[in-house]
């Protein structure tokens, strides 16, 4: 959270952040240590009260991934779900497609986990910044919700080879 | 309501363009490309030592994060 009392003009604040400098505290983890936090994110700290339910739903989706619970994850998906990954030409379409993909990924990377580092909720869209373990490769996912169902995800890996990078042990 | 910025490192233009389009017209969030480092690198402008010290002091967290990942989310109080 930026500590900048008395200033309300976002454009000015933005310019000060980018060009002139301003005291900034970035919400990265729950304990301020700089180490990856558990998947739970302080929703109220990151989003307004009305947007917290959306973030909680997305957190549950990540929890299902971290528990390697394919059924729990796919149950959260809308029938019209579309899953896209940057640099990947084909999209996942529907919960069954997602189920097969998740099983395949978890078989290939049995130690895969995601730690959520920060999040942003805008209406029905939730941007989650994460770090994949054990490689600690960072990335993010934008999830769109309709009600309590996930209708679309777009995932971006900071490393160009995506999931393959998770096979690398942390440094 | 708190406003939030997503600052994307220059090395990740695809992410920047995607997020900018995805959050277009949303008052709560703004997506920005980290232009300070890009301008500095591109133009190779001499920077007065006093200003340089001030910049480094002012946003070390953002710089640190953007060296190790594609983006950072900043909440404006």
- Tell me the C-alpha distance between B57 and A111, whole Å: 39
Q: What local confidence, expressed as pLDDT, does residue A138 receive?
A: 96
**Touching check for A42 and chain B: CB below 8 Å?**
no
Q: What local confidence, expressed as pLDDT, does residue A52 receive?
A: 84
Long-range contacts formed by B59-65: CB under 8 A, 24+ apart: B59/A17, B59/A21, B59/A22, B59/A24, B61/A24, B61/A25, B61/A26, B62/A17, B62/A24, B62/A26, B62/B7, B62/B34, B63/B37, B65/A26, B65/A28
Mean pLDDT of A81-94: 94
Mutation site, B2, B6, B45, B59, interface A, largest A CB count within 10 A = B59
- In this complex, the residue of B28, B71, B74 whose CB is nearest that of residue A17 is B74
- Tell me the C-alpha distance between B16 and B12, whole Å: 7
Q: What local confidence, expressed as pLDDT, does residue A51 receive?
A: 63
Mean pLDDT of A120-130: 95
Pairs of residues, one from chain A and one from chain B, whose beta carbons lie less than 8 Å apart: 106
Q: What local confidence, expressed as pLDDT, does residue A67 receive?
A: 98
Q: Is A121 in contact with A57 (CB distance < 8 Å)?
A: no
For chain A, give the mean pLDDT.
78
Smallest CA–CA distance, residue A19 to chain B, in Å, is 6
Q: What local confidence, expressed as pLDDT, does residue B61 receive?
A: 81
Q: How many residues in chain A?
A: 171
- Tell me the C-alpha distance between A76 and B70, whole Å: 28
For residue B76, what is the nearest residue in chain A, using CA coordinates?
A2
Pairwise CB contact (< 8 Å): A17 & B15? no
| pLDDT band at A11; cut points 50, 70, 90 | low
**Touching check for A171 and chain B: CB below 8 Å?**
no
Residues of A within 8 A of B61 (CB-CB) are 24-26
Find the farthest-apart pair of alpha carbons in chain B and give their distance in angstroms, rounded: 39
Smallest CA–CA distance, residue B3 to chain A, in Å, is 8
Smallest CA–CA distance, residue A5 to chain B, in Å, is 8
| pLDDT band at A18; cut points 50, 70, 90 | low
Residue A30 has pLDDT above 50, yes or no: no
**Tens digits of per-residue pLDDT, A47-59?**
555 568 999 999 9
Q: What local confidence, expressed as pLDDT, does residue B27 receive?
A: 87
- Tell me the C-alpha distance between A37 and A41, whole Å: 8
Q: What local confidence, expressed as pLDDT, does residue A171 receive?
A: 39
For the ranges A9-18, A99-108, A161-170, the maximum mean pLDDT occurs at A99-108
Which value does ipTM take for this structure? 0.74
Residue A76 has pLDDT above 70, yes or no: yes
**Tens digits of per-residue pLDDT, B11-57?**
999 999 999 999 999 888 999 999 765 444 444 445 555 545 444 44
Q: How big is the CA angle at A53 (ends A4 and A99), to the nearest 5 degrees?
A: 125
The β-bridge partners of A130 are A116, A139
Q: What local confidence, expressed as pLDDT, does residue A130 receive?
A: 97
**Touching check for A106 and chain B: CB below 8 Å?**
no
Residue B58 has pLDDT above 80, yes or no: no
Smallest CA–CA distance, residue A30 to chain B, in Å, is 15
Mutation site, A46, A87, A152, A156, interface B, largest B CB count within 10 A = A156
Residue A72 has pLDDT above 70, yes or no: yes
Q: What local confidence, expressed as pLDDT, does residue A145 receive?
A: 98
């Amino acid at each position: 959270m930026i500590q900048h009392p008395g200033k309300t003009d976002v454009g000015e604040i933005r310019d000060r952040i980018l060009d002139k400098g301003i005291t900034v505290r970035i919400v990265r983890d729950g304990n301020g240590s700089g180490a990856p936090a558990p998947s739970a994110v302080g929703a109220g700290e990151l989003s307004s009260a009305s947007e917290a339910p959306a973030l909680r739903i997305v957190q549950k989706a990540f929890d299902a991934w971290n528990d390697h619970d394919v059924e729990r994850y796919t149950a959260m998906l809308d029938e019209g779900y579309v899953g896209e990954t940057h640099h990947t030409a084909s999209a996942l379409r529907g919960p069954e497609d997602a189920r097969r993909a998740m099983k395949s990924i978890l078989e290939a990377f049995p130690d895969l986990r995601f730690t959520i580092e920060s999040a942003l909720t805008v209406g029905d869209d939730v941007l989650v910044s994460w770090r994949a373990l054990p490689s600690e490769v960072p990335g993010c996912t934008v999830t769109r919700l309709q009600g309590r169902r996930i209708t679309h995800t777009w995932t971006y890996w900071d490393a160009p080879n995506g999931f393959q990078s998770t096979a690398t042990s942390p440094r | 309501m708190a406003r939030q910025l997503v600052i994307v490192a220059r090395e990740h233009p695809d992410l920047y363009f995607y997020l900018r389009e995805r959050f277009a017209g949303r008052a709560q969030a703004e997506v920005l490309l980290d232009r300070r480092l890009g301008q500095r690198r591109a133009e190779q402008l001499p920077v007065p030592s006093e200003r340089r010290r001030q910049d480094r002091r002012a946003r070390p967290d953002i710089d640190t994060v953007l060296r190790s990942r594609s983006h950072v989310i900043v909440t404006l109080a």
